[in-house]
C-alpha cells in the first residue's frame, strides 16, 4: 500500500490491537478506510476495519483470497464487507493498542468467537457454559 | 517468501529423507553399505548386551529392558532387510553379501532370543544369551574391519 | 509465601522445566556419537536463550505485550503470517515429539506399547489445560522435572575422568570416522533444542498470564540467571553419561531406552525410576507449554482474548486452537512415525525458524517508545548482535547440512 501523506498515521494504527471500553480485545486494525476530501487535500482516516474481509486484501495473493473466503463463510447474512468502526468511537491511542468507547459485543467482530463457543466449547464437559 | 516456500522446504526435507535409500553402483559402494549396516547392527547388539547385563544384575527392571531390546531388534531387522533388498552389482559384492548375512543373521536371532527371554522373565537364560551377544559383537566387529 | 521461598520455587521450576524431549534426545545422541566435543553448543544455546528470555520477559512485563503481538505489529500482516505459519508448524512437530516422549517414558516403565499410551497422554494433557490453574500446572511439572538431577548423581557415581571430559569439551574436535558436516548438523540440532521457539512464546505469554510488572523483573532475572544455567548443566551431565558409557561401546542412540542405560549402569533401578519420573514430567510439562503456545501465538496475531487464566467461555477460540492442535499432534504420533526422529527434525527446524522471532524481539528491546529506560544495555546489545549472527548462520546452514548429511547419517 502506498499512501505517502498518511503513512505515519497508518503506521500508528495498522495492526494495533483493538480493545473495547473495558479493555477486552476485539481484534486488530486489519485495515483503515480513507476518504479524499472533495475540496482536495490529503486523505483523512474515516474508520478502522477489522476481520478477515479487511485483512485478506492486505495479505494479497492466494493466501489473501483464502482468507477472504473464510471471511465470507463467517458473514453469511448479506454484505461481505469488513467490520467498520468509525474513528469517532476511538477514545485512546496507546502504544500498540486502540481503545474504543463501545463494548465489544456491539462491535460485530466476534462471529467466529461465538460460533466456536456454541459449536465446540460449550458442548465439552466442564466448559462453564450453561447449555 | 510465503507459506508456499515453507511448504516447499518441508517437501524438500521429506525428499531428502527419502533419498537415504539410493541405488548401489559399484562394489566399493556396496562394501560401504555393508560396513554401515554392520556398524548399525553392532550398536543394536551392544545395546542389547549392556541391557541384558544390567537386567541380570538387577540394575534394570525387566519392562525397560524388554522394551529397549525390542526396539533395537526392530532396527536391526530393518537394517538387514534394507541391505538384502539391494541388488549386488558384481560377483564380489554378491559374495560379500552372502558372507555378511552369515554374520548378521545370528546377531539378529540373538537379539530376538534375548527379547523373548526378557519378556518371559527367564533370567536364568541371560548368561548364555549374553555370551551369544558377545560372540555376535565380535563377529560384527570383524566384518566391519574387513569391509572398511 | 515469603519472597525468598517464592524465588527459590521459581528457580527450581525453571531448572526442572528447562529440559524437554529435544535436549533428552539430542544431548544423549551427540554424547554417544561425538563425546563432549559439542558441549560448547549447550553453553552457547543456554546463553542465547537467557538473553532471549530476558528480552521477551522484559517487554512483556513493561508493555504487557507478548511476542506475536509485537511480531504482527513490527512485521505487518504478511511477514507476520509467514512467521506465524512457520512457528505454528514447528510447534506442531514439537508437540507430537513431546507427546511421543511422554508415551515412550511410560512404555519403558510398563512395556506396554507407547502407541497405546499416546491417547491417554493427550487426554490427560487436555484435562490439565482445561482445568488445572496456570501456576499449579507450571510448578507441578517443573518440580517433578527436578528428578532429572539424577543425571548429575549418576555421573558422579560413575567416577568418570573429569579431566578427560573437560578436555573433550574444551578442545572440541570432530571424532575420527565422522565428517564435519555431520558434526555441524548436530551442533545446530543441539542449539535448536536449547532455544526452541515455543519456550520463548510460553515465557513471554506466561509473564502476561501471571500479570508481571516491572517489579517482578528481578525475580524473573533470578529464574533466568540461576535456573537456566543449572538446566543447561543437567543437559551437559546427560551428554557426559552417554559419552562415558555409550560411546566406548559404539552404541548410537536411536531410542530413549538406550539413552537411559547409563543411569541404570550407575544407579540401578532407583536411579532409573527417578529418571523416568523426570522424563515424564519434562516431556509432559513441555507438551502443555507447546499446546498453550500454539493458542497464544494465533490469538496474539489475530487479536483474540487468549490465556489460560481466562475460562473457556471467555476465550473460546484460544481453547479451541489448543484442543485442535493437541488432537492433530496426537494423530501425527499415532501414524507410528518415530518420535525420536521427529524430535531431531523438530529441533533442526526450530533453528531454521529462530531468526523470525528473535530479530523482532531484539529490535523492540531497543525501542524506547515501548520500553522507556528499560531498553537493552550496550553489553546486552553486543551479546544480542553476536547471537543474531550465530542464529542467522545456523538457520541458513541447517537445511543444506540436513540434505548434505542425509539428516545426520
Domains of chain A by residue range? 4-121
The whole-number pLDDT of residue A12 equals 77
Q: Of C99-103, C254-258, C367-371, C396-400, which range is least confident?
A: C367-371
Say whether pLDDT at B99 is over 80: yes
Does C399 contact B9 at a Cβ distance shorter than 8 Å? yes
Q: What is the nearest CA distance from C72 to chain B, expressed in angstroms?
A: 15
Does A128 contact C313 at a Cβ distance shorter than 8 Å? yes
Complex-level ipTM: 0.91
Say if residues C345 and B13 touch (Cβ distance below 8 Å). Answer: yes
Report d(CA C270, CA C150) in Å as an integer.
10
Residue B12 resides in a domain: no
Say whether pLDDT at A80 is over 80: no
Residue B66 resides in a domain: yes
Q: Of A87-91, B20-24, B47-51, C239-243, which range is least confident?
A: B20-24
Does A129 contact C313 at a Cβ distance shorter than 8 Å? yes
Per the prediction, chain C carries an average pLDDT of: 93
Does B63 contact C268 at a Cβ distance shorter than 8 Å? no
List residues of B whose CB lies inside 8 A of any A CB: 2-4
Compute CA distances B64 → B48, B71, C36, C108, whole Å.
12, 11, 27, 4
Q: Does A63 touch chain B (CB under 8 A)?
A: yes
Does B64 contact C82 at a Cβ distance shorter than 8 Å? no
Between C34 and A42, residue with greater pLDDT: C34
The whole-number pLDDT of residue C183 equals 96
Strand A17-19 relative to strand A97-100: parallel, antiparallel, unpaired? Answer: parallel
Q: Which residues pair with C269 in a beta bridge?
A: none
Q: Which of A18, A26, A117 sits opposite C313 (nearest CB)?
A: A117
Q: What is the nearest CA distance from C80 to chain A, expressed in angstroms?
A: 10
The whole-number pLDDT of residue B15 equals 47
Burial class, C85, CB count within 10 angstroms (exposed 0-12 / middle 13-18 / buried 19+): middle
Q: Does A99 touch chain C (CB under 8 A)?
A: no
Q: What percent of chain B clears pLDDT 90, i.e. is strictly above it?
A: 70
Say if residues C43 and C170 touch (Cβ distance below 8 Å). Answer: no
Say whether pLDDT at B122 is over 90: yes
Q: Of A41-50, C88-97, C185-194, which range is least confident?
A: A41-50
Q: How many CB atoms lie within 10 A of CB A37?
A: 9
Residues contacting C378, CB < 8 A, separation 6+? none
The whole-number pLDDT of residue A111 equals 81
| Closest residue, chain B, to C104 (C-alpha) | B67
The whole-number pLDDT of residue A5 equals 45
Cα three-residue angle C72-C78-C79, rounded to 5 degrees: 70
Average pLDDT over residues A58-72: 87
Q: Which residues, numbered 40 to 79 in chain C, qualify as contacts with chain B under a Cβ-Cβ cut-off of 8 Å? A: 78-79
Q: Of A125-129, B30-34, C318-322, C360-364, which range is least confident?
A: A125-129
Q: Which residues, numbered 23 to 52 in chain A, qualify as contacts with chain C under a Cβ-Cβ cut-off of 8 Å? A: 24-28, 30
Q: What is the nearest CA distance from C321 to chain A, expressed in angstroms?
A: 10
Chain B contact set for C407 (CB, 8 A): 16-17, 20
Residue B15 resides in a domain: no
| Closest residue, chain B, to C246 (C-alpha) | B47
| pLDDT band at A92; cut points 50, 70, 90 | confident
Average pLDDT over residues A69-93: 81
Say whether pLDDT at C217 is over 70: yes
Say whether pLDDT at A131 is over 60: no
Does A27 contact C302 at a Cβ distance shorter than 8 Å? yes
Q: What is the nearest CA distance from C159 to chain B, expressed in angstroms?
A: 18
Category of C408 on φ-ψ map: left (φ > 0), alpha (ψ -120 to 50) or beta? left
Chain B contact set for A62 (CB, 8 A): 4
Q: What is the nearest CA distance from B6 to chain A, expressed in angstroms?
A: 13
Average pLDDT over residues C315-333: 96
The whole-number pLDDT of residue B87 equals 85
Q: Which of C69, C303, C323 sits opposite A18 (nearest CB)?
A: C303
Q: How many CB atoms lie within 10 A of CB A40?
A: 6
Report d(CA C307, CA C321) in Å as an integer.
12
| pLDDT band at A78; cut points 50, 70, 90 | low
The whole-number pLDDT of residue C125 equals 95
Chain C contact set for A8 (CB, 8 A): none
Does C313 contact A127 at a Cβ distance shorter than 8 Å? yes
Chain C contact set for A26 (CB, 8 A): 303
Q: What percent of chain C clears pLDDT 70, i.e. is strictly above it?
A: 100
Chain A contact set for B3 (CB, 8 A): 63
| A94-98: long-range pairs with CB below 8 Å, 24+ | A95/C63, A95/C369, A95/C370, A96/A16, A96/A17, A96/C63, A96/C65, A96/C69, A96/C70, A96/C73, A96/C370, A97/A16, A97/A17, A97/A18, A97/A19, A98/A13, A98/A16, A98/A17, A98/A18, A98/A19, A98/A29, A98/A48
Q: What is the nearest CA distance from B126 to chain C, expressed in angstroms?
A: 17
Does A128 contact C311 at a Cβ distance shorter than 8 Å? yes
Chain C contact set for A28 (CB, 8 A): 72, 302-303
Average pLDDT over residues A89-109: 87
Say whether pLDDT at A75 is over 80: no
Average pLDDT over residues C66-84: 91
Reference C303, options C32, C84, C17, C97; nearest CA is C84
Average pLDDT over residues C36-58: 95
The whole-number pLDDT of residue A67 equals 87
| pLDDT band at B19; cut points 50, 70, 90 | very low
Does C257 contact B68 at a Cβ distance shorter than 8 Å? yes
Say whether pLDDT at C176 is over 90: no
Q: What is the nearest CA distance from C84 to chain B, expressed in angstroms?
A: 10
Chains sharing 3 or more CB pairs under 8 A with chain B:
A, C
Q: Does A60 touch chain B (CB under 8 A)?
A: no
Say whether pLDDT at C394 is over 90: yes
Average pLDDT over residues A40-53: 87
Chain A contact set for B4 (CB, 8 A): 62
Q: Of B17-26, C88-97, C204-213, C362-371, which range is least confident?
A: B17-26
Q: Does C254 touch chain B (CB under 8 A)?
A: yes
| Closest residue, chain C, to B36 (C-alpha) | C409
Compute CA distances C100 → B104, C242, C326, whole Å.
30, 21, 12
Per the prediction, chain A carries an average pLDDT of: 83
Chains sharing 3 or more CB pairs under 8 A with chain A:
B, C
Q: What is the nearest CA distance from B92 to chain C, expressed in angstroms?
A: 25
Question: Helix, strand, or coil here: B40?
Answer: helix
Q: What is the nearest CA distance from A21 to chain C, expressed in angstroms?
A: 14
Chain C contact set for A127 (CB, 8 A): 312-313
CATH of A4-121, one of 3.40.50.1970, 3.40.50.2300, 3.30.930.10, 2.30.30.240: 2.30.30.240
| pLDDT band at C395; cut points 50, 70, 90 | very high
Reference A34, options A6, A60, A4; nearest CA is A6
Number of domains in chain B: 1
The residues spanned by each domain of chain C are 3-89+142-277+338-404
Q: Does B37 touch chain C (CB under 8 A)?
A: no
Looking up residue B127, the CATH number of its domain turns out to be 1.20.120
Q: How many CB atoms lie within 10 A of CB C131?
A: 10
What cell numbers appear for C371 in the block?
520500553
Amino acid at each position: 500500500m502506498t499512501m505517502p501523506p498518511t503513512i505515519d498515521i497508518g503506521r500508528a494504527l495498522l495492526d494495533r490491537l483493538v480493545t473495547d471500553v473495558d479493555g477486552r480485545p476485539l481484534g486488530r486494525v486489519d485495515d483503515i478506510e480513507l476518504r479524499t476530501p472533495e475540496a482536495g487535500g490529503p486523505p483523512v482516516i474515516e474508520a478502522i476495519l477489522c476481520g478477515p474481509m479487511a485483512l485478506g486484501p492486505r495479505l494479497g495473493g492466494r493466501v489473501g483470497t483464502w482468507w477472504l473466503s473464510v471471511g465470507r463463510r463467517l458473514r453469511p447474512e448479506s454484505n461481505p464487507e469488513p467490520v467498520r468502526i468509525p474513528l469517532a468511537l476511538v477514545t485512546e491511542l496507546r502504544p500498540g493498542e486502540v481503545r474504543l468507547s463501545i463494548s465489544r459485543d456491539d462491535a460485530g467482530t466476534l462471529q467466529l468467537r461465538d460460533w466456536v463457543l456454541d459449536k465446540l466449547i460449550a458442548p465439552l464437559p466442564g466448559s462453564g457454559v450453561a447449555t | 517468501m510465503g507459506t508456499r516456500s515453507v511448504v516447499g522446504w518441508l517437501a524438500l526435507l521429506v525428499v531428502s529423507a527419502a533419498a537415504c535409500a539410493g541405488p548401489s553402483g559399484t562394489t566399493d559402494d556396496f562394501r560401504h553399505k555393508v560396513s554401515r549396516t554392520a556398524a548399525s547392527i553392532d550398536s543394536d547388539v551392544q545395546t542389547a548386551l549392556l541391557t541384558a547385563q544390567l537386567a541380570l544384575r538387577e540394575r534394570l527392571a525387566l519392562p525397560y529392558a524388554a522394551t529397549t531390546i525390542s526396539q533395537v531388534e526392530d532396527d536391526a531387522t530393518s537394517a538387514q532387510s534394507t541391505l538384502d533388498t539391494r541388488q549386488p552389482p558384481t560377483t564380489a559384492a554378491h559374495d560379500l553379501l552372502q558372507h555378511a548375512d552369515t554374520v548378521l543373521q545370528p546377531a539378529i536371532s540373538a537379539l530376538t532370543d534375548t527379547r523373548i527371554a526378557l519378556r518371559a522373565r527367564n533370567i536364568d537364560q541371560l548368561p548364555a544369551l549374553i555370551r551369544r551377544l558377545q560372540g555376535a559383537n565380535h563377529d560384527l566387529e570383524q566384518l566391519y574391519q574387513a569391509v572398511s | 509465601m515469603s519472597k525468598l521461598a517464592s524465588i527459590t520455587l521459581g528457580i527450581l521450576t525453571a531448572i526442572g522445566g528447562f529440559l524437554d524431549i529435544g535436549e533428552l534426545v539430542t544431548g544423549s545422541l551427540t554424547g554417544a556419537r561425538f563425546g563432549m566435543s559439542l558441549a560448547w553448543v549447550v553453553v552457547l544455546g543456554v546463553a542465547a536463550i537467557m538473553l532471549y528470555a530476558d528480552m521477551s520477559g522484559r517487554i512483556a512485563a513493561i508493555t504487557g505485550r507478548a511476542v506475536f503481538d509485537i511480531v504482527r505489529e513490527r512485521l505487518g500482516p504478511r511477514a507476520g503470517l509467514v512467521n506465524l505459519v512457520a512457528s505454528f508448524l514447528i510447534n506442531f512437530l514439537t508437540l507430537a515429539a513431546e507427546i511421543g516422549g511422554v508415551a515412550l517414558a511410560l512404555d519403558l516403565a510398563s512395556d506396554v506399547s507407547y502407541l497405546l499410551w499416546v491417547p491417554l497422554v493427550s487426554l490427560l494433557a487436555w484435562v490439565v489445560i482445561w482445568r488445572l490453574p496456570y501456576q499449579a500446572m507450571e510448578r507441578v511439572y517443573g518440580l517433578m522435572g527436578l528428578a532429572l538431577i539424577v543425571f548429575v548423581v549418576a555421573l558422579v557415581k560413575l567416577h568418570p575422568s573429569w579431566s578427560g571430559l573437560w578436555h573433550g569439551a574444551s578442545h572440541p574436535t570432530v571424532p575420527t570416522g565422522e565428517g564435519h558436516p555431520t558434526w555441524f548438523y548436530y551442533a545446530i540440532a543441539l542449539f535448536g533444542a536449547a532455544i526452541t521457539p515455543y519456550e520463548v512464546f510460553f515465557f513471554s505469554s506466561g509473564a502476561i498470564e501471571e500479570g508481571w510488572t516491572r517489579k517482578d523483573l528481578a525475580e524473573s532475572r533470578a529464574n533466568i540467571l540461576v535456573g537456566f544455567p543449572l538446566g543447561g548443566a543437567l543437559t551437559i551431565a546427560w551428554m557426559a553419561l552417554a559419552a562415558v558409557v555409550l560411546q566406548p561401546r559404539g552404541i548410537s542412540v536411536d531410542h530413549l531406552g538406550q539413552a537411559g542405560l547409563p543411569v541404570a549402569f550407575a544407579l540401578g533401578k532407583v536411579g532409573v525410576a527417578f529418571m523416568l519420573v523426570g522424563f515424564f514430567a519434562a516431556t509432559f510439562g513441555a507438551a502443555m507449554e507447546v499446546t498453550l503456545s500454539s493458542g497464544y501465538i494465533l490469538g496474539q496475531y489475530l487479536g483474540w482474548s487468549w490465556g489460560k487464566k481466562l475460562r473457556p467461555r471467555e476465550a473460546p477460540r484460544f481453547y479451541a486452537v489448543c484442543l485442535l492442535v493437541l488432537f492433530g499432534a496426537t494423530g501425527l504420533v499415532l501414524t507410528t512415525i518415530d518420535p525420536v526422529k521427529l524430535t531431531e527434525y523438530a529441533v533442526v527446524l526450530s533453528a531454521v525458524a529462530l531468526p523470525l522471532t528473535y530479530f523482532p524481539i531484539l529490535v523492540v528491546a531497543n525501542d524506547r517508545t515501548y520500553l522507556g529506560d528499560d531498553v537493552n544495555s550496550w553489553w546486552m546489545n553486543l551479546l544480542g548482535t553476536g547471537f543474531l549472527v550465530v542464529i542467522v548462520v545456523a538457520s541458513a546452514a541447517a537445511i543444506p547440512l540436513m540434505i548434505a548429511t542425509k539428516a545426520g547419517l
